[in-house]
Structure 1
Amino acid sequence: MIKIYGDIMLDRWIYGSCQRVSPEAPVIVMKEDEYNYSIGGAGNLATNLDSINGTVELYSCVAQDKEGYKLLELLEKTNIDCYIQDDADMTTTKTRFVGQGGQQVLRWDREKPYLQDSVIDNLLKNLKPDDIICISDYAKGTVKANTLSQIFRKAKVLVDPKQDDYFYDGAFLVKPNMKEYTEWFGKFDEIDACNIMRKHNWQWLVVTDGANGMHVLNEDTRYKHYKEPTNQIVDVTGAGDTVLAVIAHCLNDGKDVFDACEIACYAAARAVERQGTTVITKKDLRKKTTVWTNGVFDVLHKGHLELLKFARTQGERLIVGINNDASVKRLKGETRPINDVHERKSQLESLPWVDQVVVFDEDTPLNSIVSHKPDVIVKGGDYTVETVVGHELAEVVIFPTIEGISTTKTIGKIIK
């Protein structure tokens, strides 16, 4: 189970146009066109995990004010298991004013520190040894130093920090951004960073660095740097939550930290291309996904077309492998194929869902799969995952057969 402990807040977005200066003071006047609300802080981390992971628990607090009620209303629309106290003095709210072209003009924060201990009491009561705990700390008072050590001893804890470095001594993984890291320790250096990890008893350190990607180190002094291109950076709001959510999800799914961080880097690059507090999806975790499917594709019919359309939705690029004429004869008999390999290849290449067509002369496409290294293999028909050629090399997705449609039946209708 993934549990989230930290500062939840309400994100309010006001969109409008700025076309004149106020006569009262040298400031711009913004005319409101529309507004919306989203769940921010630890809540954004929770909604991301709700989207990609499923069951998740959120431990935080709000006040009994209109902002708190709005947050609870938004949370009720999710599948998050919420343990929310309502004994705060004020619900933290961040209001962003966004002008033409998506440019933020102003941010207005409304907050008071949370002084109670009821949130941590709930978490400790429900904590289990195999839980993954994400601490989303915005220094609003929910996360308290005197209770963190209890959590660190009882579960695997991932921290998105905001307070002093020693505050998180003993955490499994700490994820500062580069600004936070340099404020703590000065200029980043991987050798120094390893020494710092030992000093603080951290097993993993992940330093996010905006467009420069992320630096990942473990206690055994292994180091990797990940960087993903973006089409355009539109809004970095919540990017740190995206990274921590994906890392937690991948660890919960059995992946190691390096693999988790590589996927998280890709997902964050997709998140910053969108306006506002972003909720990622499972599709955002598919890094540069290449999809493979194969067959004879002799006489194209509805079943083929539906298979190819479906296969294209499983990634960014679809490669279709087809048997050459000699291998078709070996598999189907001397009367096949009806259309030669050039005709079959040309027909497939004309379809909008197909990016590349590959011809192979063996009875199976294994060598072609090894050569092209797809991330996903899609097969239709009565296959199981274990019977699909190449299932050891990529994720396998089975597309169910459309009843009553096959090449043999189509040829039979033509002959009649």
Structure 2
Amino acid sequence: MDETLFGEPALTLDVVRRVALTAPLVTVYGEPMLDGWWHGSSNRMAREAPAPIVALRRQDFVPGGAANTAMNLAALGARVRFVGLVGEDEAGSRLRDALAAAGVDVAFLVARPEVRTITKTRIVVADQVLVRLDEGNEAGFADEALAALADAAVAATVGADAAVVCDYGTGMLGGAVREALLHRIGRPAVVTVDAYDSGGWAELAPDLVTPNADEAAGLVGVGLKREADRAAIVTTLAPRILEASGAGAAVVTLDRDGTVLLDRAGTVHRTWARPASDRQASGAGDTFAAALTMARAAGLPLPVCADYAQAAADVVVGRFGTSVCSTDDLLARLAEFAGRALDHEDLARRLAGERAAGRRVVFTNGCFDVLHRGHTAYLNQAKRLGDVLVVALNSDESVRRLKGDSRPINAAADRAEVLASLSCVDYVTIFSTDTPIPLIQRLQPDVYAKGGDYTLDRLPETEVVRGYGGEVRILDYLPDYSTSAVVDRIRTPSPVSDDVVPQGRAKRPVRSRVGRAAG
């Protein structure tokens, strides 16, 4: 674990590069599956049945299930061991070869003659899946096969920095394997459970679990209505979800609505999925669990881990079939948003399109000079007030007029890059006036949000926003953390204490409560 990453407040291009360089050793336990994507064309129906005739053009085979999690970890820079059970069949050989070609250690992939490798073959015409054919061990797995797998699971734990349990409910990880993992000697620093039933692994006391909203609610016996505010509901259920799963933290996935991070300290952090065209994507959950584990093993704070995993999942959701997100893919994805501070004319055009689609626009502003956790908490609060969040940054000249010649610490382009990389931020722009009033008058956002110890009557923007029918919201004042305090700590050398860290090692920063989202 790179402890210098522990205090990073946001996901940036540099953070992604540094995560890849940590190259943690991660063991993945779970059901390997071979995903077949068979592509063809069809223009007539069969005579003997009301079914389309498909002329096959191409057959693609890729690792799926837990093997897809391993592939994603390897693509993100991890050293990966894979523990699973396959048959001594053609599908098993394809899986082993594909994993090995991606750099995954398959020494712990157990092959048995009595096992049929799990396969899922999709017949695709014009980018539409017509049918999926599933094969595998419907009758379960023999005790001898599971005993061999349990031995491999224990051996693969030795020296691992992190572990991911991918339980799809086939029975492969039950019984002997589960008992072996519960009672093994030596536990990785990070353990993630990605299971259809996280409660079944509560005794493992995982660091992270990744249920979807229905699975999280089901853990505590609550049903979710189709149109319910899933994020709000699972947040209220946080203590019960964590207790039922035995986890230190849960990241509840909400598909198109992003995720909610919940931990035992009361942290609530939202991520927001970037819009993507509908594709026949498969395995985004595997990508998310892999990326979340990778980021945590590298030493990132949990909220930044969730942002990292969300960005990786966004990559694969925009693709067809079962795919992986590599470090290069993630860098390219973030580069699409990083540093793209829009000019006011372009921003106005884009917001007109957002409104035409019925979306509610939230606007906030500030210097955001040295981004800290107070800022990210505040921006996530602002995002929840609507559908689209616009952040207006004070220009460098504006910051100097407001805060003195020693500020800003970071130039406007750098500040814009960091903000644009946050999943809760949709648009970033820069203004040079002392207040954002001229820009607010032009954009007329539905909500103007401001953080800090303000009152509505003290805000000069209040009259303007109310004048065109908008709403002003003052967000929580969190006094324990401010940009000025962060800058003072940076500029003031710390006295040498009794717990001096040996040269060459970074001391882990002390956790601070999320505080004021000041500029």
* TM norm structure 1: 0.68
Residue in 1 aligned with 2:55?
A: 31
Equivalent residue, structure 2, for 1:371: 412
* Aligned counterpart, 1:158: 192
Aligned residue identity for 1:175: T
Aligned pair 1:139/2:169, yes or no?
Answer: yes
Deviations 1:118-152, CA, capped at 9 Å, x for gaps: 12212213424762110111222321243342359
CA-atom RMSD, angstroms? 3.0
Matching residue within 69, 73, 90 for 2:116: 90
Higher relative contact order (CA 8 A, sep 6+): 2
1:105 corresponding residue in structure 2: 130
CA contact (8 A) 1:151 1:157 kept: no
- Percent identity between the aligned chains? 24
1:206-355 map, 5 Å = 206-286=251-331, 289=334
Give the distance between the partners of 1:19 and 1:257, measured in 2 at CA: 51
Displacement after TM superposition at 1:282 (Å): 1.0
1:386 alignment partner in structure 2? none
Q: TM-score, normalised to structure 2's length?
A: 0.55
The answer on 1:195 being equivalent to 2:240 is yes
Q: Report what 2:209 is aligned to.
A: 174
Task: Confirm whether residue 17 of structure 1 aligns to residue 41 of structure 2.
Answer: yes
Q: Deviations over 1:285-333 (max 9, x none)?
A: 348646xxxxxxxxxxxxxxxxxxxxxxxx655689xxxxxxxxxxxxx
Equivalent residues of 2:249, 2:264 under 8 A apart: yes
* Secondary structure, counterpart of 2:42 in structure 1: strand
CA spacing shift, 1:2–1:246, aligned 2, 3 Å: same
Where 2:252 maps in the other structure, the secondary structure is: strand
Q: What do residues 235-294 of structure 1 show as CA deviations (whole Å, max 9, x unaligned)?
A: 33010111011111111211022111111112211211100111111134348646xxxx
Residue 163 of structure 2: SS of its match in structure 1? strand
Which residue identity lines up with residue 140 of structure 1 in the other structure? T
Shift of 1:9: 0.9
Residue 98 and residue 207 in structure 1: after superposition, are their counterparts in 2 closer, same or farther (change >3 A)?
A: same
SS at structure 1 position matched to 2:237? helix
Within the candidate set 103, 106, 125, 2:155 is matched to 125
Q: Rate the CA distance shift 1:365–1:317 in 2: closer, same or farther, 3 A.
A: farther
Partners in 1 of 2:218 and 2:240 — Cα distance? Answer: 17
Q: Judge conservation of contact 1:48–1:245 (CA < 8 Å) in 2.
A: yes
Q: SS in structure 1 opposite 2:239?
A: helix
Report the 3-state secondary structure (helix = DSSP H, G, I; strand = E; otherwise coil) of the residue aligned with 2:54.
strand
- In the TM superposition, what is the alpha-carbon distance from 1:375 to its structure 2 partner? 4.4
The residue number in structure 2 matching 1:48 is 72
Are the structure 2 counterparts of residues 89 and 289 from structure 1 closer, same or farther at C-alpha, using a change threshold of 3 Å?
closer
One-letter amino acid matched to 1:69: S
Once the two structures are superposed, residues 210-240 of structure 1 have per-residue CA deviations (whole angstroms, 9 ceiling, x without a partner) of 1011111001222122112223131330101
1:283 and 1:238 mapped to 2: Cα distance? Answer: 19
The whole-number CA distance in structure 1 between the counterparts of 2:273 and 2:406 is: 31
Query: Matched residues in 2 for 1:129 and 1:146: separation?
Result: 20
Q: CA, structure 1 residues 20+200, in 2 after alignment: closer, same or farther (shift >3 Å)?
A: same
State the one-letter code of the partner of 2:207. Answer: F
- Using the alignment, how far apart are the partners of 1:71 and 1:273 within structure 2? 24
Match of 2:92 in 1: 68
Q: Would you say the 8 A contact 2:34–2:95 is kept in 1? A: yes
- The CA deviation string for residues 319-375 of structure 1, in whole angstroms up to 9 with x for no partner, is 89xxxxxxxxxxxxxxxxxxxxxxxxxxxxxxxxxxxxx999x9x998484323154
Tell me, in whole angstroms, the C-alpha distance in 1 between the residues paired with 2:50 and 2:406: 69
Could you say what secondary structure the match of 1:19 adopts?
Answer: coil
Which residue does the alignment assign to 2:459?
Answer: none
Distance across 1 between alignment mates of 2:135 and 2:301: 39
Check the 8 A contact 1:45/1:241 in 2, yes or no.
yes
Please give the alpha-carbon distance, in whole angstroms, between the structure 2 residues aligned to 1:365 and 1:11: 57
Q: Deviations over 1:137-184 (max 9, x none)?
A: 122232124334235972331011024623443222111122333444
Distance 1:317 1:192, change over 3 A: closer
Counterpart Cα distance in 2 of 1:359 and 1:179: 46
Q: Please give the alpha-carbon distance, in whole angstroms, between the structure 2 residues aligned to 1:164 and 1:231.
A: 29
> Distance between the aligned counterparts of 2:83 and 2:160, measured in 1?
17
Larger displacement relative to structure 2 (116-125 or 176-185)? 176-185
Larger gyration radius, structure 1 or structure 2? 1
Tell me, which stretches of 5 or more residues in structure 2 are unaligned?
Answer: 1-24, 225-232, 342-394, 419-489, 491-519
Matched residues in 2 for 1:163 and 1:317: separation?
A: 37
